[in-house]
Amino acid sequence: MADLYYFAAWTNSGCLCGCDHNHPTVLSAVVCAQSAGAGSYVVAVEDGQYRALDTKEEREFQVAMYGTGILRGTLRALRALTLTQAILN
């Protein structure tokens, strides 16, 4: 099993900066990322190597940071419900 953790990252004057924590989840790293301000991100560290978030991790990041997935899904459901109600009435 790979040694995996996440950290909040941001840039400052062209340098990569990050929190000093080894977060076990994307969500816990997002909390640090949000405190860093605009332009922050979460980076995975697997077996001592930086890597980009995979598709599942990126989705977790987007939802935790911006809520976009939840909002889009909710809006789709509301539109479908409104359309269904209009058809049934």
Q: What is the pLDDT of residues 43-84, one digit of tens each?
A: 999 999 999 999 999 988 888 887 765 666 665 666 666 656
**Could you tell me the residue range of the domain that residue 56 belongs to?**
4-88
Q: How many domains does the chain have?
A: 1
Alpha helices in 1-89 (DSSP H): 26-36, 55-66, 68-88
8 Å CB contact between 3 and 14: no
pLDDT at 69 (0 to 100): 59
pTM of the model: 0.69
Q: What is the pLDDT of residues 23-44, one digit of tens each?
A: 999 999 988 888 776 678 999 9
8 Å CB contact between 50 and 9: no
